Amino acid sequence: MTISIWRYSHLALAVSSFVFIILAAFTGIILAFEPISNQIQLYKVSGFDEVTLAETVQHLKTNYLEVIDMNVDVNDFVSASVITEEGDAETFYINPKTGEKLGELIEKAPLFNWATSFHRSLFLKSTGRIFVGITSFLLFLIAVSGTVLIVKRQRSFKRFFGKIVNENFSQYYHVVLGRLSLIPIIIVTLTGVYLSLYRFDLLPKETLIQNVNYDEISETPKRELKDQAIFSDTKLSEVRSVEFPFSDDVEDYYTLQLQDREVLVNQYTGEVLSEAKYPLIAVASRLSINLHTGQGSILWALILAIACVNILFFVYSGFVMTLKRRKAKLKNTFKKDACKYVILVGSENGSSLQYANMLHKQLLKLGEMSFIAELNAYSTYRSCEHLVVITATYGQGDAPENASNFENIFKTIKTEKAYSFSVVGFGSLAYPDFCKYAFTVDALLQTDPNAVQLLKPFTIHNKSFEAYTKWINSWSKKVGLQIQLPGDALVESNKRKRTFNVVQKTITSDNPDDTFTITFKPKLGFSRFKSGDLLAIKPQANSAERLYSIGKVNASVFLSVKRQELGLCSNFLNDLKVGDSLKARLIKNKEFRLSKRTKHVLMIANGTGIAPFLGMIDQNTSAQKMQLYWGGRRKASFKMYKDIIQDGLQHNKLQKLEIAYSQEDEHKVYVQHLLERDAEHVAQVLKQKGVIMICGSIAMQKDVLLVLEAICERHLEQPLSVYKNKGQLKLDCY
Ligand SMILES: Cc1cc2nc3c(=O)[nH]c(=O)nc-3n(C[C@H](O)[C@H](O)[C@H](O)COP(=O)(O)O)c2cc1C
């Protein structure tokens, strides 16, 4: 699949450095805990910020025989190297307010020692340091290319932190965490590169120059430390270290390392003999070390640790996405001009490609000549009789990456003979321009005089396999083929099957629509499923699984099934009798579960789509406000659901029931008509954070969504996608 130069760079950089990145991130997590463990040691005294340098130096001079130096570290712990009254040379933490010993210096734990060496050089000395420096730079480039990809995805810089639709775990968190970790990662990589350059002396040299005029040094006027301005006016928090005079000789002075400069001070008079600002390189090096290691700040160290964990996640999720994209490869057996069927695909992340490949493979299996290509590779197809375009939509109704040039190429190509075309759009209702690019392609194809539209553009929300199967059925009927998709590949996981006993079943002939309800009790009392989940049934050992939306009624699995004349699974279920058992899989369908926190839910269904809602009504113990709009053909169609509904109404589990019959009166009434009639009420449900759930046929879903879109625009002045993004619209149509 063609990918953009930015995505390619992002991927190539990641592939070339991921082993080093993993090692650096892993050791980085360990090292982030070093400054944290240091800081939680209690060597910082209260009121530290108020202590003056004069106070501490005086205490040190009084308490010890000799003082060599004193240091203040990033944690504000003060240490001193002294000769004690007993004549021992010692270095320890002191209380700056008294000069007394507080404790021994913190020794670096062996784990941190190990991690530091590994993180810096992978135990490979200079060679390792070079690798680590390069890895740091590559990670910086990965962050930059990732930023460009996010900007492109969001279609503008301004929307960089805008909402991301959660369609896929890896992709969603790769982007969301990528944005959050961007700044820390850029800082940690740039400082890493800087420290490597510094270590290898590749930065310009700047040295600190001090000029002491030894001829003018004088012992008078002698002053007490507290009267020497440089000591009494300097707070300890401004000091990095103090080197004490080596002897009483007036030419030996104090060397004060302050935060921004070095000052040399006459030990008798307190006169500043010389002072110099640190060179920029030294300041930058110190800042780099602090930013890179998190020294001195628990918060920053924690941010760095989280960024390192995120880096490990990016490696994982990046590879998951790449493998998914690579899985969707295009393979042709025949030449483009020899094929009767041509499938063109517009895809960015590979899922539409997988679906298109399924059709391509099934056509080849049936002995048909099929050719598959990306939309950007559009060309002449001499033997093409049926063109199928399967395309996703990106941005604001734009083409996916591998279809970006299709419109231009299309305009340059002249077809020579008649062909049929059908367009399938993959998209998501979470975006305002649902499957818009599919409609663009359809309109474009209509401009070709040789092209005849075989089917209207068909839209698929959230990669619904059921919806795609439905389209395949319509299309294959039109072209005179019998295509059966190997659904297992997409929907079947390795989860184990359970045994269910049939405890209730209605008789199909009692219902005017050839529909029945059937209830299964899971064996061994299994009850960890919810209304809205799916039951996957294989009617025969080698057939594809069929999925049914279930209701949980009386802790059992409740299905409503329409028997199809030639339907393998519906007839298999219809032949079951009370007492029979069945092996099937329960699939969690999180997207169509009803949260207990939802206060108000408006349920819309037609036909057998009522099943999950009957379960939700039956389970409604938390006083949720439930309203049901159901569409059926005749009054008799409703009979088999009546008991559960009446029980719901009686016990106030269901507050409102609206039914639309399409074949009872002269005028056909459908659910969307009732919704239109109750437009203000529907708008109120959304406005008050209620949820709308739709279950049933795709055709009904389409009509209902059009009405809901219009209601949102008219009454709420917002597109429906806003509510979809907030989780207030849940769909399960097939
Ligand atoms: C950044 C982004 C933008 C999208 N924009 C739209 C859109 O405008 N309209 C739409 O219907 N779907 C949109 N989608 C959903 C995709 O079209 C849908 O997930 C599709 O199945 C992806 O197919 P692919 O994996 O073949 O690229 C968008 C998805 C992403 C990640």
Q: What CA–CA distance (Å, rounded) separates 339 from 623?
A: 60
Span 655-671, average pLDDT: 92
* pLDDT of the residue at 489: 47
Q: What CA–CA distance (Å, rounded) separates 567 from 564?
A: 5
Q: Determine which residue's CA is closest to atom 3 belonging to ligand 1.
A: 394
487, pLDDT greater than 60 = no
97, pLDDT greater than 60 = yes
Cβ atoms 344, 388 nearer than 8 A: yes
pLDDT band at 383 (very low <50, low <70, confident <90, very high): very high
User: Whole-structure pTM over 0.80, yes or no?
Assistant: no
Percent of the chain with pLDDT over 70: 98
Mean per-residue pLDDT over the chain, rounded: 92
Span 192-211, average pLDDT: 89
pLDDT band at 396 (very low <50, low <70, confident <90, very high): confident
Please give the full DSSP string across 660-694, using - where no structure is assigned: EESSSSSS---HHHHHHHTHHHHHHHHHTT-EEEE
Q: What does the pLDDT look like over 628-658, one tens digit per residue?
A: 999 999 999 999 999 999 999 999 999 999 9
Q: Determine which residue's CA is closest to atom 5 belonging to ligand 1.
A: 394
Strands, sheet with 261-266, edge to edge from the N-terminal-most edge strand: 101-104, 89-94, 78-83, 66-72, 239-243, 253-258, 261-266, 272-277
Burial class (CB within 10 angstroms; exposed 0-12, middle 13-18, buried 19+) of 416 = exposed
Computed on alpha carbons and rounded to an integer, the radius of gyration of the chain in Å comes to 37
Q: Determine which residue's CA is closest to atom 18 belonging to ligand 1.
A: 427
Span 381-393, average pLDDT: 97
End-to-end CA distance of the chain: 29
Q: What CA–CA distance (Å, rounded) separates 697 from 713?
A: 24
Q: How far is the CA of 394 from the centre of ligand 1 (A)?
A: 5
Tell me, using a 6 A CB cutoff, whether residue 465 lines ligand 1: no
Percent of the chain with pLDDT over 90: 77
Q: What does the pLDDT look like over 260-305, one tens digit per residue?
A: 999 999 999 999 999 999 999 999 999 999 999 999 899 999 999 9
Ligand 1 pocket test target in 393, 398, 441, 460 with most atoms within 8 Å of CB: 393
Q: How far is the CA of 426 from the centre of ligand 1 (A)?
A: 7
Q: What CA–CA distance (Å, rounded) separates 78 from 259?
A: 15
Span 175-182, average pLDDT: 96
Q: What does the pLDDT look like over 127-149, one tens digit per residue?
A: 999 999 999 999 999 999 999 99
Q: What CA–CA distance (Å, rounded) separates 158 from 541?
A: 54
Span 616-628, average pLDDT: 90
Q: How far is the CA of 704 from the centre of ligand 1 (A)?
A: 22
* For the CA of 398, the nearest atom of ligand 1: 8
Return the H-helix or E-strand segment holding 424: strand 419-427
* pLDDT of the residue at 651: 92
| Residue 550 backbone zone (phi > 0: left; psi -120 to 50: alpha; other: beta) | beta
Ligand 1 pocket test target in 149, 349, 591, 720 with most atoms within 8 Å of CB: 349
Q: How far is the CA of 166 from the centre of ligand 1 (A)?
A: 11
310, pLDDT greater than 60 = yes
Three-state DSSP class for residue 194: helix
Ligand 1 pocket test target in 2, 156, 428, 722 with most atoms within 8 Å of CB: 428
Q: Determine which residue's CA is closest to atom 29 belonging to ligand 1.
A: 394
Q: What CA–CA distance (Å, rounded) separates 104 from 90?
A: 9
pLDDT band at 494 (very low <50, low <70, confident <90, very high): very low
Cβ atoms 657, 628 nearer than 8 A: yes
Tell me, using a 6 A CB cutoff, whether residue 350 lines ligand 1: yes
Q: How far is the CA of 727 from the centre of ligand 1 (A)?
A: 17
Q: How far is the CA of 392 from the centre of ligand 1 (A)?
A: 6
